[in-house]
Amino acid sequence: MNRPTLSYVHGASETPLIGRTIGEFFDEATERWHDNEALVVRHQNIRWTYGELRRRTDDLAAGLLALGLEPGDRVGIWSQNCAEWALTQFATAKTGLILVNINPAYRQTELEYALNKVGCKALILSPRFKTSDYIAILSELAPEIATAEPGALRAAALPDLSTVIRLGLDRTPGMFNFDQVTTMGGAADREKLATLGPTFQFDDPINIQFTSGTTGFPKGATLSHHNILNNGFFVGEAIRLTDKDRLCIPVPLYHCFGMVMGNLTCLTHGATMIYPAEAFEPKAVLDTVQEERCTALHGVPTMFIAALDHPEFKDHDLSTLRTGIMAGSPCPIEVMKRVQSEMNMREVTIAYGMTETSPVSFQSSTDDPLDKRVSTVGRVQPHIEVKIIDTEGRIVPRGVPGEFCTRGYSVMLGYWNDDEKTAEAVDGAGWMHTGDLATIDDEGYCNIVGRLKDMVIRGGENVYPREIEEFLYRHPKVQDVQVVGVPDIKYGEEVCAWIRLKPGTAAEPEEIIEFCRGKIAHYKIPRYVRFVESFPMTVTGKIQKFIIRETMIEELNIQEQKTA
């Protein structure tokens, strides 16, 4: 009796892993491609070569050391896409500081939790972005900053935070200016910078990104030099990136998509990083691709849809485009076909991954057959193992759905200061349990078919129902609440809350939505609110969220979208 082929694959490769820190690699890359254009930031009118990027990064790195920051200290960055974000990413890596990505959509409660969870000693922030006044939010959280000397903050609500650095030219009491910090480093600081580099190991933590769980508060996925430098490199290899390529990066830098698959992918290949705007704007992307002669473009499906459907789409020359990556949420097959045919991205690829795996585990190749490129997430990345398991932990045969587990250089070091959650995610053999349901076919192509957890993916943002439920429980009229995702043509999914009100109370949906505004990130605010007497349950009392979802699909007359 022949045993069926099991759903286990590994990325055998003759290309070795990079065994250096980001700082070491950065210095070599900026020397090698010294005169190549490294960074173009359209909204800031910035155009730097790799040599200029190196000079400015070293200035900032020396300034951070002059502030008294030491290797291992956590430095948060709370900002939209800008040149300072890239400088901070590379400067913290060179100084051994751990960069903490703060979501630009965070509000006061989320900011407080993030800074305190990982003990941020310094915070670099933009003055404002869209409807968020970051300085006002921080000042409300830490009013002591108004009378503090810069670098000497002592705030009751943020006990670890001592240094705040703001972007822009205006002055704010208690804060350094970013440009001021870049001039603070003296000869001793530069000497220290030079001697520190060789003491770092590539397995040292270098980045913390918050990723929520179904059990409540966000967890700080801690990533090493080795994790993200190698992932950035192999992602670039999959799209055949070279030092002649110009990558348009409209995705947020605080995500792995921006800082790893964008910035580090370019750094490892000598390509040009191009930021079209502070945040995604379809016309800015189209203008940038045309005027900067971009050869590659990244985005989540909603971004590509917005560009394709823009009224001026056909007025733009996108003939220079060749490749790029669509990822972040399920990729509709028809959208992939339009991107290939109408945007000239014949070699566009799909990638699948998660923050905890740096992020990419599977990616299609530029020469994969068309049907595989539009209907799967490709094959396993080099040096990575993947298995699909059943509920008993046994590997299933090819084509059978099960939980996607991955192991290798890309798996995070763990969740910051949370051994229990780390142990739940990464087992004793080093396998990261993703919670996603997938199949692997006989040729090794993977299909993501669902999620074990109830996570909602709205416009590429991971939304965790429990986190929203916990927040809504604070409303004085809410007795019980269940949050699910329902399909949405524009965003992939939208958030829906079913609420049981306390006896004797009444409310309107807008009251609940208004309660959320300004307190939780906009993408977490429920689009749909329904008041119910009870929830569908099993005989054992477990709530059946899939019935809530199905009921809403029927009520709203939503057609499920077929996705890859």
Q: 108-118 and 134-141 helices cross at what angle (nearest 10)?
A: 70
Q: 282-291 and 301-308 helices cross at what angle (nearest 10)?
A: 80
The answer to whether residues 159 and 274 belong to one domain is no
Backbone angles phi, psi at 516, to 5 degrees: -85, -30
Report if residue 153 sits inside a domain: yes
Report if residue 564 sits inside a domain: no
The span from the CA of 309 to the CA of 339, in Å, is 11
The span from the CA of 469 to the CA of 480, in Å, is 8
Report if residue 562 sits inside a domain: no
Instruction: Give just the sign of the alpha carbon dihedral 28, 33, 35, 37.
Output: negative
The answer to whether residues 304 and 406 belong to one domain is yes
Instruction: Number of helices (H) and strands (E) in the chain: give both, helices first.
Output: 18, 27
- pLDDT at position 564 is 32
The answer to whether residues 268 and 367 belong to one domain is yes
The span from the CA of 366 to the CA of 239, in Å, is 6
Q: Is 122 helix (H, G, I), strand (E, B) or coil?
A: strand
Instruction: Report how many domains make up the chain.
Output: 3
Q: For residues 192 and 385, is the Cβ–Cβ distance under 8 A?
A: no
Give the tens place of pLDDT for each residue, 302-343.
899 889 989 999 999 999 999 999 997 667 677 888 999 999
The span from the CA of 80 to the CA of 86, in Å, is 11
Comparing C-alpha atoms, which of 27, 33, 64, 65 is closest to residue 48?
33
Final residue before a domain boundary, out of 425, 451, 477:
451
The answer to whether residues 400 and 340 belong to one domain is yes
The answer to whether residues 423 and 503 belong to one domain is no
The answer to whether residues 196 and 296 belong to one domain is no
**Amino acid, single-letter form, for residue 186:** G
Report if residue 343 sits inside a domain: yes
The answer to whether residues 519 and 392 belong to one domain is no
Report if residue 212 sits inside a domain: no
pTM of the model: 0.85
CATH of the domain at 248: 3.40.50.12780
| Residues in the chain where the model's pLDDT stays below 50 | 213-215, 539-540, 561-564
The answer to whether residues 465 and 436 belong to one domain is no
- pLDDT at position 217 is 79
What are the CB-based long-range contacts (under 8 Å, 24+) for 466-470? 466/212, 466/213, 466/214, 466/215, 466/216, 467/212, 467/216, 467/217, 467/218, 467/524, 468/495, 468/497, 468/520, 468/524, 468/526, 469/497, 470/216
Q: 83-95 and 187-196 helices cross at what angle (nearest 10)?
A: 70
CATH of the domain at 497: 3.30.300.30
Distances (CA, A) of 342 to 305, 308, 319, 335, 336: 12, 8, 10, 10, 10
Structural domain boundaries, residue 93: 22-201
The answer to whether residues 53 and 149 belong to one domain is yes
Report if residue 563 sits inside a domain: no
The residues facing 6 across adjacent strands are 397
Pairing outcome for strands 98-102 and 205-211: parallel
The answer to whether residues 495 and 437 belong to one domain is no
Report if residue 316 sits inside a domain: yes
CATH of the domain at 45: 3.40.50.980
- Burial (CB < 10 A; 0-12, 13-18, 19+), residue 394, is exposed
In total, the chain counts a number of residues equal to 564
The span from the CA of 373 to the CA of 375, in Å, is 6
Q: Is 282 helix (H, G, I), strand (E, B) or coil?
A: helix
Report if residue 238 sits inside a domain: yes
Comparing C-alpha atoms, which of 350, 180, 328, 193 is closest to residue 254?
328
The span from the CA of 279 to the CA of 128, in Å, is 13
The answer to whether residues 416 and 478 belong to one domain is no
The answer to whether residues 262 and 239 belong to one domain is yes
